[in-house]
Amino acid sequence: MKKLKAGVAFGDYISQQANAGSKGHWGEGRGNSMRPLLLPLLAVLIIALLFVKLFSLQILQGSYYKGLADNNRTRTVVIHGPRGIIFDRNGTPLVFNIPGFRQEKNDKTNLLTQEEALPFLAQKGSNLEIDSLRGYPYKEVFSHVLGYIGQISQDELKQEQFSSYNGGDIIGKAGIEQRYEQILKGVDGKKLVEVDSQGKEIRSLGESDPISGRDIMLTLDSGLGKATYNAMKGVMKGAAIVSTPKGEILSLVSSPSFDPNLFTMGEGFRPATDSSYQNVSSVLLDLLNQPLLNRAISGTYPPGSTFKLIVAAAGLENNIIDENYVVSDNGTLRIGEFSFSNWYFTQYGKTEGEVDVVKAIKRSNDIFFYTLAGKVGVDTIAKMSSEFGIGKTLGIDLNGEAAGILPTTSWKEKAIGEQWYTGDTYHLGIGQGYLLATPLQVNGWTQTIANEGVLYEPHLLKSQNSNVKSQKFLSRKTVDLIREGMINSCAPGGVAWPLFEFRIKNAKLRIDGKNFLAVPESTSSAQFSEYRKVSIACKTGTAQHGGQEALPHAWITLFAPAYNPQIVVTVLSEESGEGSNVAAPIAKKILEYYFSR
């Protein structure tokens, strides 16, 4: 064979390949001899690989794949334990549970009624879990006390008390529902069901029953709560508290209120047409009126003349004054270029003459309390106020209680950076200036006078003991003088005119000549024989705030009957006028309901 010459067009490797091909047939013969062995070797290798795979699937990973198969034909459905029921003091349920479902969607838990759940029940992968919906039959009446429930947040999941909870769980978000969550929450059960290839349930394979949460009984009176709420209708912003002298809360209303069913009864729930808020958004977005704010325990206000009771106690208990001490009311008290006037002189141009402590409370005389505060001094007043629970929380079993502000000379220097002036003391003497208190605190110091110097911790759980906060720090003489002034305040010649000669039709009230008295007409007319006059000890307050154009806050606080108290009532109506004109008529309606029973 002629050897090709390497050149530009062909490389040297061409000539090398040609030479290799001319060398005998040894290589070709060896390759042909190996071919019969390739197919059997390949078959053995494939069989070996299949055997290893089958061994792995059936032996090594058998339980894993069996679990997957079982999961494809079975499903575990969580049955959430119903929450415990909340009852009032008479055994009336204040909440109820109705059958419903829970749906997890986009990390959000939606509660559905049975009717709302029907379209989803037939769908594969609907993720519906059996649950109960929480209903509140009293709606706005107890919303700030009972609260509502909602999905647990990420921040709450980090708290120790929720260590056993899951991301989609429903918990108490406010009020009693929140405070007693650990008692009210039930224990979840489970249901194992067999499903077909479409995910539809075929049959139940087993079930562990859920356990309901524990029921609790509150100190609330449902009937009195409704009466209090109805009495507060028309009050744009305010609060009313009715309690026993030992701190049991019978009724607590904050205005404006809201329907807690909006948060718990599913998206299809529609409140009554007369409800102020028709959906959750309207509740959350009302930043002006703040319906979620519990004004009874979280709102802080100047208490106005209701604080004069404490100033009187400070003067009497420190022997700075007694029943014979008098102040001459000339209408205005002048300190340098500043003047401090009595309300009676400002409104009517009249003076009150000689005023002792009983008359000062009866007529709510500002001149007397300006003078008394100046004699007692701010720090002594503050010390007495602390005994009455001012400037600190009282410990009610609801979250969000405010402490208010109890001003002192050191407080003003630290908080405002100014020294304390005589004018500050005068303002404190009539419950104005820097002093701020909650309606709960005003109710508390009224209880203390009714209890002759014992302050109890306010509470809502009926089984809780009445814990003493302050013990017998008022003398009987002090209590008698203050009570006499309060009784006169609610009688003709006083200032709380709506409560003058308060009477009620209830023959079951036993006439004792002090707490319950016969009405004068009963001696001449049989139709008045069932009427009783109820003695009341009260103090109104008209608290200035803001600028001159702002209407004052209206207050009244009282206990009744005056000598053997059964209830303590405190009413606040924000920016509405005088306490006697606005708050006293509300308190009267509450008293009428209570004593008519």
Domain boundary (159, 194, 217) is at 217
CATH number of the structural domain spanning residue 434: 3.40.710.10
Least confident range from 13-22, 43-52, 383-392: namely 13-22
What's the average model confidence in pLDDT over 546-565?
A: 93
Instruction: Give the helix/strand (H/E) hosting 223.
Output: helix 222-231
Residue 37 counted as domain residue? no
Say what percent of the chain tops pLDDT 70: 88
* pLDDT value at residue 451: 95
Residue 28 counted as domain residue? no
For helices 476-489 and 439-450, what crossing angle results, to 10°? Answer: 120
What's the average model confidence in pLDDT over 144-165?
A: 92
* pLDDT value at residue 198: 59
Predicted confidence (pLDDT) at residue 352 exceeds the cutoff of 60: yes
* pLDDT value at residue 19: 45
Q: Which residue, chain included where needed, has tokens 């006293």?
A: 584
Least confident range from 182-196, 426-440, 536-550: namely 182-196
Give the tens place of pLDDT for each residue, 518-538. 988 766 666 788 899 999 999
* pLDDT value at residue 22: 44
Predicted confidence (pLDDT) at residue 31 exceeds the cutoff of 80: no
Give the tens place of pLDDT for each residue, 411-428. 999 999 999 999 999 999
Note whether 207 and 324 are same-domain residues: no
Please, which pLDDT band fits residue 124 given cuts at 50, 70 and 90? low
Note whether 375 and 518 are same-domain residues: yes
Q: How far apart are CA 99 and CA 406, in angstroms?
A: 49
CATH number of the structural domain spanning residue 101: 3.90.1310.10
CA angle, 494 then 499 then 500, to 5°:
60
Note whether 191 and 304 are same-domain residues: no
Give the tens place of pLDDT for each residue, 323-340. 999 999 999 999 888 899
* pLDDT value at residue 76: 78
Which residues lie closer than 8 Å to 263 by C-beta, 6 or more apart?
148, 149, 150, 173, 280
Predicted confidence (pLDDT) at residue 1 exceeds the cutoff of 70: no
The model carries a pTM of 0.85
Give the tens place of pLDDT for each residue, 160-179. 999 989 888 899 999 999 99
Predicted confidence (pLDDT) at residue 11 exceeds the cutoff of 50: no
Q: How far apart are CA 186 and CA 207, in angstroms?
A: 16
Residue 392 counted as domain residue? yes
Choose among 346, 484, 363: nearest CA to 354.
363
User: For residues 531 and 511, is the Cβ–Cβ distance under 8 A?
Assistant: no
* pLDDT value at residue 24: 47
Predicted confidence (pLDDT) at residue 432 exceeds the cutoff of 50: yes
Give the tens place of pLDDT for each residue, 462-487. 998 889 999 999 999 999 999 999 99
Residue 176 counted as domain residue? yes
Note whether 210 and 316 are same-domain residues: no
Residue 14 counted as domain residue? no
Note whether 192 and 300 are same-domain residues: no
Note whether 333 and 211 are same-domain residues: no
Predicted confidence (pLDDT) at residue 10 exceeds the cutoff of 70: no
Give the tens place of pLDDT for each residue, 207-253. 888 899 999 999 999 999 999 999 999 899 999 999 999 999 999 99
Domain boundary (217, 236, 256) is at 217
Predicted confidence (pLDDT) at residue 271 exceeds the cutoff of 90: no
Give the tens place of pLDDT for each residue, 63-103. 655 554 555 577 777 788 899 999 999 999 999 998 888 88
Strands laid side by side in the 74-79 sheet: 108-113, 96-105, 128-135, 74-79, 189-195, 201-208
Note whether 350 and 205 are same-domain residues: no
Phi first, then psi: give them for residue 349, nearest 5 degrees. 70, 20
Calculated CA dihedral for residues 467, 222, 569, 511, nearest 10 degrees: -100
Selected residue with higher pLDDT from 31 and 256: 256
CA angle, 482 then 389 then 250, to 5°:
80
Q: Which two tokens stand for residue 83?
A: 């929450």
Cis before 256 (ω within 30): yes
Predicted confidence (pLDDT) at residue 3 exceeds the cutoff of 80: no
* pLDDT value at residue 353: 95
Note whether 300 and 207 are same-domain residues: no
What's the number of domains the chain is made of? Answer: 2
Q: Report in angstroms the alpha-carbon separations of 540 from 417, 484, 485, 581.
A: 33, 15, 12, 10
Residue 483 counted as domain residue? yes
Predicted confidence (pLDDT) at residue 497 exceeds the cutoff of 80: yes
Note whether 210 and 317 are same-domain residues: no
Predicted confidence (pLDDT) at residue 26 exceeds the cutoff of 60: no
* pLDDT value at residue 134: 92
What's the average model confidence in pLDDT over 305-324?
A: 98
Note whether 330 and 213 are same-domain residues: no
What's the average model confidence in pLDDT over 439-468?
A: 96
Residue 178 counted as domain residue? yes
What's the average model confidence in pLDDT over 271-295?
A: 89
Selected residue with higher pLDDT from 373 and 267: 373
Residue 21 counted as domain residue? no
Domain boundary (187, 217, 247) is at 217
* pLDDT value at residue 99: 86
Q: How far apart are CA 487 and CA 592, in angstroms?
A: 17
Please, which pLDDT band fits residue 5 given cuts at 50, 70 and 90? very low
Q: How far apart are CA 254 and CA 570, in angstroms?
A: 12
Q: Which two tokens stand for residue 9?
A: 């067009």
* pLDDT value at residue 125: 58
* pLDDT value at residue 57: 60
* Half-sphere exposure for 588 (CA within 13 Å, toward CB): 18
What's the average model confidence in pLDDT over 503-521?
A: 92
Phi first, then psi: give them for residue 21, nearest 5 degrees. -70, -15
Quote the domain boundaries for residue 172: 72-217
Note whether 367 and 464 are same-domain residues: yes
* pLDDT value at residue 15: 41
Note whether 447 and 563 are same-domain residues: yes
Q: Burial letters for 207-225: b for 16+ Cβ neighbours within 10 Å, e otherwise? A: eeebebbeebbbbbbbbbb
Please, which pLDDT band fits residue 547 given cuts at 50, 70 and 90? confident
* pLDDT value at residue 13: 41
